[in-house]
Chain A
Amino acid sequence: MPPLLAFIPLLPLIGFVVLSFFGRQMPKRAVAILGAGTICIAAILTIILGLSFLQTPPAGGAYDQLLWSWFSIGNLSVDIGLRADALTLVFIFIITFVGALIHIYSAFFMWHDDDYARFFASMNLFVCSMLLLVMADNLVLMYLGWEGVGLCSYLLIGFWYEVPSNCRAAIKAFLITRIGDTALLIGLFLLFKELGTLNISAILHLAPDHFTTGGSNIVLITILLLVGGMGKSAQLPLQTWLPDAMAGPSPVSALIHAATMVTAGVYLIARMHVLFQLSPVTMMIVAIIGALTLFVAGCSALAQTDIKRILAYSTISQIGYMFLALGVGAWSAAIFHFFTHAFFKALLFLAAGVIIEALHHEHNIFMMGGLRKRMPVVFVTFLAGAVALSALPLVSAGFFSKDAILWYSWSAANGNPLLWVMAMAGAFITALYTTRLMLVVFWGDVRTPVHEHPAQGMVIPLIVLAFLSITAGFIEWPHNMVHLSLFSDLVQKVLPETVLKPDLPSEWLFQLMAVFVTLAGIYLGYLLYYGKPGIRWQRSPGLSGMRDLLFSGFKFDQLYNFLFVKPFVFITRINKSDVIDRLYNGIAQAALKLNSWFAISQNGSLRLYIVGVLAGILFIITLQILL
């Protein structure tokens, strides 16, 4: 069974290599079959692998496969080695399975694009890198995947490179995540300095003995890892790239900026949970960042008009929930939310892609409307996604995962009522903006006519994802309702169980409150947006300042522009011709100046020279006589 492991990332890699060398000569059909086919086979392999993992769990709880030794010097030895335990399997499953659906969708979505092969090559490379990220058995290989997904994200955001704003968004995404990556890299250096190894299982094994809980080194290491995760997962204050990243094609947003890459930070923290548990301070910071992010991003989503930006802010907000869960120590709840979120957010993005295509690349939701009747299939699937996003109780996957997080944010040992309040507020806002999105886009008058309907191949992935958005939650129920916890049983082979506070109030109470908040959000949305074509209250001047603030995502962009971008550009611009060059030019100038002084004496008059010689002789003789 283990040899299968290498094939899972290898297949997309083969797809990438073939497509990037021969893609231009291949017919589109062949490109699509190769591009999507490799991922589909990888998904099938993953399912086979997963089944065998469940039936006969391997010794040590993980499949290992060493491919070759990457480099080894002295006490540093890094292999290209893969490892798949329960946590990794969950991620591989999402990456390949959702990835396969999105690839099938893209085969139709991108059909009219000239650069068909380039698109699939980049997508395949992305899947390969993402798989390496989660399957790596050491941190260096993980970093390879980590940078690889960053590269693919850059390539795909700027896929339509003729538009300057797309390229700017791509560069922004790459740079901001790179800041996080660099912090992560420094974290690796510190880890290596302390433990002398970069192998993940060795680190997890050695760490508890080496570090004292709350020691400054471990706090520093975990904070550096956290900053790395914040960059990739678009958490405060490194979140500004994700909304702009929506410049890429919709399948890209679905795969990279919703389902997989942006959850790399979650994976990193979950994978390194032993380190984080040794540093309660960092855990607290993770939880606070998650809570703040989910609230701030949720508020920003309220004011957006671009359908994809709404979903982007919503993604940031949902990842905030995952961070919150990680921070309070609800490990499996965080991974479970990742699991369900991947389905419904991918679905929402894919459906949004269909809508945007159908309406002549119209992104503004206030230019849409009335699509309920015009595009019924899209409406139904989008509704399923929206229901899951707003966590409607019992009928959606989002409920099961988000409810667990809400509960643990109070009840877990690290939980805190304040965090719970933030999470509840976030749940309210989520329901509100989801309702707003639904009502504005699908109800009301038709503002832009539908000019094409999605191909059959695009609809099928939507339906599959919609089905999963509703049902994927049923594998894990709250303890007080049904004793079914397949998911947490699986991931708790790797991750520790959540520790609860003693003597807690009843879980039912919390669930009721969560349900109430969700319904209240939906109801408020209904009041504000249903059947109000003009939506007069939105234009009121009293709210415009607020709306500007929310619309610009709390002015983070402007702040960074002012603090970092402008000074940097200014400094580099004034120093374009290199100050140090002045020094050497100064020396050259001085030499020339001296030359011009001495050149005066060299005027070509022979007789003057002879006078000079004579004067010199007289001078020397005089000197001789005098001394």
Chain B
Amino acid sequence: MILVWMIVVLLAGGVVCWLVAQQDQLICRWIALISVVTAFSIPLVWFINNPPIKTPGNNWFIHYQANWIPAYGISFHLALDGLSFILLMLTFLLGTLAVLSSWNEVRERTGFYFFNLLWTLAGIAGVFVAMDMFLFYFFWEVMLVPMYFLIAIWGDFNRRYAAYKFFLFTQTGGLLMLLSILAMYFIHAQQNGGHYTFDYFALLNTNLRGSAARWIMMGFMIAFVIKLPMVPLHNWLPDAHSEAPTAGSLILAGLLLKTGAYGILRFVLPMFPQAAADISWLAMLLGVIGIVYGAMLAFAQTDLKRLIAYTSVSHMGFVLLGAFAFREIALQGVIMQLMTHGVSTGALFVMAGMLKERLHTRDINQMGGMWTAMPHMGAMAMLFVMASLGLPFLGNFIAEFLILLSTFTVSPVLTVIASVGLVLSALYSLRLMQKVFLGQTQTVNEIPADLSAREWVIVGALTLAIVILGLYPQPVINMVSGVVAGIAIR
């Protein structure tokens, strides 16, 4: 039941925000903050009060099931396991920071803005816990549409183009997924004497063979790799990320991309183990291409947010590479990568937003020497840049290390090429640092202020997260070990 409350709090909070904003914008912001924090605390408090006892063979902490449209076998089925739990934690951490980071940035239509923000978060949270395929698709769309508005209304100069592109790409994938869901629905009913159901656990046992499995998997796969994104389906990402408002970029990079990876881990690999294994070489190859190609594009960019966006392409290549290695260590690395990439790239986007607020430009050629004016922000940026190039003692290293270590046993050649990505990541990261914070101070009209207290809270929370993940990742590893063991080949 707590899962329902968690989502309802967000949805209701969004509506209340919208209604209240006409009277007072400040109260609206506080309501948004309080509802996200409440949603954050619900699963957290539950977890602290009921530490789940691990029983072999059952990774699920909570089940909640209610009838929705029983005539078509659609139920309101939510469930929580280790993977969902840590992704929920990430969602609400970044969600809280997203609200905080748009505190002053958004001045027009505040109510509608926070409505969209909270509904997107609700959609994402729903995606992570929905265990009914129809419900999953429903949440998938719930997170998509408000996000479209966030980009199209509060975005930058080229926002329309970016929003359309985002919507078209994701919607194409979503429709293919819908087709696949329906195909599974009917095949399952056929095999089980007309028992129509959308339930995940029932469909998991569908007996799929040969080309049917392959085609249905491709439907899911395309939807998820567009979100992930995988080269060559990544083109929506740089535009959407660079045009979105700060909180939008944070949620896009930190959370929306993770839904794609989550889908692969939750649906593609367990439902179609054979078909997925058949295309694993292709997926790993495309993952590696993504790592290198994304890094090379990131190196060439002059738009700060676009640069960071392409680093996401590069980092998510590791996810694809690791997931399709089907090894326990690699899968642990993938989940770690989801967490750490969310935190580190999110932090970089937040800082890009802060810089834009101060300098009114995203062009890194017009920045430079910012360290002198903003030493604290510079130091923090250095930390996250180092995280993104995979410096040990920060979380990203653990993730990339685990993925590469384990993939090496499967495909040494691809791993070696992927490792080249580490060198390239150093290239673009240092270039970013160099262009923005080091070098000569550019002529700016006013000296930009260093981090404010609110910004310290945001950056500090992310710093803490990335350092803890880097030095003591074991809790996360233990949390998802059951899920991973279910997917990995033994």
- A and B touching (C-beta < 8 Å)? yes
Contact assessment for B426 and A174 in the assembled complex, using a CB-CB cutoff below 8 Å: yes
Shortest Cβ distance from residue B169 to the other chain A in the assembled complex, whole angstroms: 8
Is A573 a contact of B300 with CB atoms below 8 Å? yes
Question: What are the 7 tightest A-B residue pairs by CB atom distance, in nearest-first order?
Answer: A144-B392, A189-B408, A572-B300, A161-B438, A576-B300, A580-B232, A178-B426
User: Do B371 and A161 have beta carbons less than 8 Å apart?
Assistant: yes
B401 contacts which chain A residues (CB < 8 A)?
Answer: 140, 185
Contact indicator A188/B440 (Cβ below 8 Å): no
Instruction: Say whether B379 contacts A148, CB under 8 Å.
Output: no
Q: Does B93 contact A (CB under 8 A)?
A: no
Q: Assuming the A-B contacts A182-B419, A576-B301, are A73 and B481 also in contact, with contact meaning beta carbons closer than 8 angstroms in the complex? A: yes
Partner of B440, one of A164, A186, A581: A164
9-residue interface stretch from A64-72, A265-273, A326-334, A369-377: A64-72
Q: Which of A68, A140, A143, A190 contacts B472 (CB 8 A)?
A: A68
Q: Which residues of A contact B291 (CB under 8 A)?
A: none
Judge whether B393 is part of the interface by a CB distance below 8 angstroms.
yes
Interface string of B425-463 (1 = CB under 8 A from A): 011001100100111110000000000000000000000
A446 vs B471: C-alpha distance when bound (angstroms): 55
Alpha-carbon separation in the docked complex, A576 to B234 (Å): 15
Residues A555-579 near B (CB distance < 8 A): 568, 571-573, 575-576, 578
Shortest distance in angstroms between B429's beta carbon and chain A's nearest beta carbon? 9
Question: How many A-B residue pairs lie within 8 Å, measured between CB atoms?
Answer: 125
Report if A500 contacts B (CB, 8 A): no
Q: Which single member of B375, B416, B438 contacts A158 (CB below 8 Å)?
A: B438
Whether the Cβ atoms of B393 and A580 lie closer than 8 Å is: no
A485 → chain B, closest Cβ, in Å? 38
Does A76 belong to the interface (CB within 8 Å)? yes
Q: Once the chains bind, are B405 and A575 in contact (CB under 8 Å)?
A: no
Task: Contact check, A581 vs B235: say whether CB atoms are below 8 A apart.
Answer: yes
Contacts A170-B430, A190-B408, A580-B235 aside, 17 further interface pairs with beta carbons under 8 A come to A20-B379, A68-B472, A71-B477, A73-B402, A74-B328, A74-B329, A143-B392, A144-B393, A162-B438, A164-B439, A164-B440, A167-B439, A182-B422, A186-B415, A568-B296, A576-B297, A576-B300
Q: In this assembly, does B175 line the interface, its C-beta being within 8 Å of a C-beta of chain A?
A: no
Contact status B434-A167, CB under 8 Å: yes
Is residue A147 contacting chain B, with contact meaning CB distance below 8 A?
A: yes
Any chain A CB within 8 A of the CB of B282?
A: no
Q: Does B423 contact A (CB under 8 A)?
A: yes
A residues less than 8 Å from B369 (CB atoms) = 161-162
Please name all residues of chain B whose beta carbon is closer than 8 Å to the beta carbon of A158 when the two chains form the complex. 438
- Cα distance A182–B408 in the bound complex, in angstroms: 13
* Interface SS of chain B: helix
Closest to B441 in A: A162
Q: Indicate if the CB atoms of B430 and A174 lie closer than 8 Å.
A: yes
The distance from the CB of B414 to the nearest CB of chain A, in whole angstroms, is 12
Cβ-based interface call for A490 (8 A): no
B238 at the interface (CB under 8 A from A): yes
B408–A24 touching, CB < 8 Å = no
Which residues of A sit under 8 angstroms from B434, Cβ to Cβ? 167, 171
The answer to whether A185 and B422 touch (CB under 8 A), given A151-B386, A164-B439, A580-B231, is yes
User: Contact check: which of A24, A148, A161 meets B439 at CB < 8 Å?
Assistant: A161
Out of B409, B419, B474, which one reaches A71, CB within 8 Å? B474
C-alpha gap A575/B379 in the complex (Å): 31
From A71, A155, A584, contact of B235 by CB (8 A): A584
How big is chain A's contact interface, by range?
35 or more
User: B393 contacts which of A74, A148, A154, A174 (Cβ < 8 Å)?
Assistant: A148
Asked whether A188 lies within 8 Å of B405 as measured between CB atoms, the reply is yes
Contact A186 B419 (CB under 8 A): yes
Which of B238, B422, B481 meets A178, CB within 8 Å?
Answer: B422
A 148-180 to B, binary, CB cutoff 8 A, 1 in contact else 0: 100100110010011010010011001100110
Does A451 have its Cβ within 8 Å of any Cβ on chain B?
no
Q: If the complex has contacts A167-B438, A174-B430, A193-B408, are A24 and B375 also in contact, measured as CB distance less than 8 A?
A: yes
On chain B, the residues within 8 Å of A118 by CB distance are 375
Q: Which of B453-490 contact A (CB under 8 A)?
A: 471-474, 477, 481
Give Cα A144 to B386, complex, Å: 13
> For A179, what are the chain B residues with a Cβ–Cβ distance below 8 Å?
423
- Please determine whether B235 and A175 come into contact, CB atoms closer than 8 angstroms: no
Report if A162-B300 is in contact (Cβ < 8 Å); known contacts: A147-B391, A178-B422: no
Q: Would A575 and B297 be within 8 Å (CB), given that A73-B332, A164-B439 are in contact?
A: yes
Chain B residues numbered 222-247 whose CB sits less than 8 Å from any CB in chain A? 231-232, 234-235, 238
Residue B26 lies at the interface, judged by CB distance under 8 Å to chain A: no
Could you list 7 examples of A-B contacts with CB < 8 Å? A70-B472, A70-B474, A144-B397, A179-B423, A193-B408, A576-B297, A581-B235
Q: Does B149 contact A (CB under 8 A)?
A: no
The yes or no answer to A510 lying at the interface (CB within 8 A) is no
Minimal Cβ-Cβ distance residue in B for A164? B439
Task: Give chain B nearest CB distance to A140 CB in angstroms.
Answer: 7
Q: Contact at B419–A72, with CB atoms within 8 Å?
A: no
Report chain A residues within 8 Å CB of B296.
568, 571-572, 575
Tell me which residues from 384 to 414 in chain B have a Cβ below 8 Å from any Cβ of chain A: 386, 391-393, 397-398, 401-402, 404-405, 408-409, 412
B185 to chain A, nearest CB (A): 30
| Contact partners of B379 in chain A: CB under 8 A | 20
User: What residues of A have a CB within 8 angstroms of the CB of B393 in the complex?
Assistant: 144, 148
**Given A174-B430, A578-B235, A580-B232: A189 and B404 interface contact (C-beta under 8 Å):** yes
Instruction: With both chains docked as a complex, state the minimum distance between the C-beta of B232 and any C-beta of chain A, in angstroms.
Output: 5
A178-B423 in contact given A71-B474, A151-B386, A161-B438 (Cβ < 8 Å): yes
CA–CA, A68 and B472, complex, Å: 9
Task: Please determine whether A185 and B419 come into contact, CB atoms closer than 8 angstroms.
Answer: yes
Q: How many Å from the CB of B112 to the closest CB on chain A?
A: 28
Contact between A71 and B408, CB atoms less than 8 A apart? no
CB pair A147–B392 under 8 Å, yes or no, is: yes
Known: A73-B328, A74-B328, A572-B300. A189 touches B405 (CB 8 A): yes
Contacts of B297 in A (CB 8 A): 572, 575-576, 578
Interfacial chain A residues near B438, Cβ < 8 Å: 158, 161-162, 167
Q: Cα distance A155–B471 when bound, in Å?
A: 22
B206 located at the interface, meaning its Cβ lies under 8 Å from any Cβ of chain A in the complex: no
Query: What separation, in Å, do the CA atoms of A174 and B433 have in the docked complex?
Result: 13
Interface contact A189-B415, CB-CB below 8 Å: yes
| A154 contact set on B, CB distance < 8 A | 430
